[in-house]
Amino acid sequence: MSVIVALAAALASCGGKKASDEGEFKYLVDHFADLNIIRYRIPGWEGLSLQQKEYAYWLSEAAKWGRDITWDQYCKWNLPLRHVLENILENYKGDRSGEDWQAFELYAKRVFFANGVHHHYAEDKFLPGCTKEYFASLMEAVGAQCDGLVDFIYDPDAYPQRRSTSKDGDIVQLSAVNFYGDGITRAEVEKYYASIEVPGDPEPVSYGLNSKIVRAQDGSLKEERWKVGGIYGPAIEKICEALAKAAAVAENDSQRKALGLLQEYYRTGDLRKWDEYNIEWVKDTLGTVDYINGFIEDYDDPLGHKATWEGYVHIKDSAASARTEILSANAQWFEDNSPVDPRFKKKSVKGVSAKVVNAVAMAGACYPSTPIGINLPNADWIRKEHGSKSVTIANITHAYDYAAQEQPKSTLTEFVYSQEEIDAYRKYGPVTDEIHTDLHECLGHASGQLLPGVSSSALGEYQSALEEARADLFGLYYIADPKMVELGIVPDLEAYKPAYEHYILNGIMVQFCRVELGRPNTEAHMQNRKLVAEWCYEKGLKDNVIEKKVRDGKTYFVVNDHQALRGLFAQLLAEIQRIKSEGDYAAGKALIDKYAVDIDPVLHKEVVERYKALNLRPYGGFLNPDIVPVVKGGKTVDYKLEYPSDFLGQQLEYGHKYSAL
Mean pLDDT of the 506-512 span: 95
Same domain, 26 and 141: no
Cβ atoms < 10 Å from Cβ of 412: 20
Q: Of 308, 441, 354, nearest to 2 (Cα)?
A: 441
Q: Which amino acid is at 445?
A: H
Residues 306, 396: Cα–Cα separation, whole Å:
27
Q: Of 500, 508, 491, 629, nearest to 559 (Cα)?
A: 500
Q: Tell me which of 438 and 648 has the higher pLDDT.
A: 648
Q: Indicate whether 338 belongs to any domain.
A: yes
Model-wide pTM > 0.85: yes
Mean pLDDT of the chain: 93
Q: Give phi and psi for 443, each to the nearest 5.
A: -115, -40
Please say if the pLDDT value at position 252 is more than 90: yes
- Residue 97: left if φ>0, alpha if ψ -120 to 50, beta else—which one? alpha
> What integer pLDDT is reported at residue 82 of this predicted model?
98
Are the beta carbons of 519 and 547 closer than 8 angstroms? Answer: no
Q: Indicate whether 468 belongs to any domain.
A: yes
Number of domains in the chain: 2
Please say if the pLDDT value at position 409 is more than 90: no
Residues 631, 207: Cα–Cα separation, whole Å:
45
Same domain, 523 and 640: no
Please, is 171 exposed, middle or buried when counting C-beta atoms within 10 Å of its C-beta (0-12, 13-18, 19+)? Answer: buried
Q: Give phi and psi for 629, each to the nearest 5.
A: -65, 135
Q: Indicate whether 313 belongs to any domain.
A: no
Q: Indicate whether 516 belongs to any domain.
A: yes
Tens digit of each residue's pLDDT (9 = 90 or more) over 323-380:
888 998 999 999 999 999 999 999 998 878 889 999 999 999 999 999 998 999 999 9
Tens digit of each residue's pLDDT (9 = 90 or more) over 425-481:
999 988 898 899 889 988 999 899 999 999 888 998 899 899 999 999 999 999 999
Are the beta carbons of 273 and 261 closer than 8 angstroms? Answer: yes
Give ∠ CA 312-316-318 in degrees, rounded to 5: 165
> What integer pLDDT is reported at residue 414 of this predicted model?
94
Q: Indicate whether 192 belongs to any domain.
A: no
Same domain, 431 and 383: yes
Please say if the pLDDT value at position 5 is more than 50: no
Tens digit of each residue's pLDDT (9 = 90 or more) over 523-538:
899 999 999 999 999 9
> What integer pLDDT is reported at residue 537 of this predicted model?
98
Residues 177, 72: Cα–Cα separation, whole Å:
8
Tens digit of each residue's pLDDT (9 = 90 or more) over 272-293:
999 999 999 999 999 999 999 9
Same domain, 360 and 461: yes
Q: Indicate whether 462 belongs to any domain.
A: yes
Same domain, 423 and 450: yes
Distance of CA 633 to the CA centre of its chain: 42
Q: Indicate whether 83 belongs to any domain.
A: yes
Same domain, 566 and 635: no
Same domain, 412 and 454: yes
Same domain, 324 and 462: yes
List the beta strands (DSSP E) in 121-218: 211-215
Same domain, 502 and 379: yes
Same domain, 17 and 77: no
Mean pLDDT of the 564-578 span: 98
Alpha helices (H) in 37-147, listed in sequence order: 50-64, 67-74, 78-91, 99-114, 132-142
Tens digit of each residue's pLDDT (9 = 90 or more) over 174-186:
999 999 999 999 9
Helix (H, G, I), strand (E, B) or coil at 41: coil
Q: CB neighbours of 195 closer than 8 A, spacing ≥ 6?
A: none
Cβ atoms < 10 Å from Cβ of 124: 16
Which of 131-145, 392-406, 522-536, 590-604 bottoms out in mean pLDDT, i.e. has the lowest?
Answer: 392-406
For residue 296, the surrounding DSSP H or E stretch is: strand 289-297
- Please give the residue range of the domain that contains residue 15: 2-30+318-622
In the 3-class helix/strand/coil scheme, how is 596-654 assigned residue by residue?
A: HCCCCHHHHHHHHHHHHHCCCCCEEEEECCEEEEEEECCEEEEEEEECCCCHHHHHHHH
For 68, 145, 368, 543, 659, the CA distances from 80, given in Å and listed in that order, are: 11, 9, 20, 57, 12
Q: How confident is the model at residue 200 (pLDDT cuts 50, 70, 90)?
A: confident
Q: What does 355-418 look like in DSSP terms, one character per residue?
A: EEEEEEEEEETTSSS-EEEEEE---HHHHHHH-EEEEEEHHHHHHHHHHHHTSS--SHHHH---
Mean pLDDT of the 62-89 span: 98
Please say if the pLDDT value at position 207 is more than 50: yes
> What integer pLDDT is reported at residue 406 of this predicted model?
86
Same domain, 450 and 557: yes
Tens digit of each residue's pLDDT (9 = 90 or more) over 112-132:
999 999 999 889 999 999 999
Q: Indicate whether 605 belongs to any domain.
A: yes
First and final C-alpha spacing in the chain: 28
Tens digit of each residue's pLDDT (9 = 90 or more) over 13-41:
333 343 334 457 999 999 999 999 999 99
Are the beta carbons of 36 and 410 closer than 8 angstroms? Answer: no
Q: For strand 308-316 and strand 289-297, is the pairing parallel, antiparallel, or unpaired?
A: antiparallel
> What integer pLDDT is reported at residue 9 of this predicted model?
39
Mean pLDDT of the 489-513 span: 95
Q: Of 62, 127, 573, 602, nearest to 362 (Cα)?
A: 62
Residues 625, 314: Cα–Cα separation, whole Å:
12
Q: For strand 308-316 and strand 352-364, is the pairing parallel, antiparallel, or unpaired?
A: antiparallel
Which of 89-98, 272-281, 398-407 bottoms out in mean pLDDT, i.e. has the lowest?
Answer: 398-407
To the nearest whole percent, how much of the chain has pLDDT over 70?
A: 97
Distance of CA 64 to the CA centre of its chain: 17
Residues 167, 114: Cα–Cα separation, whole Å:
25
Same domain, 641 and 603: no
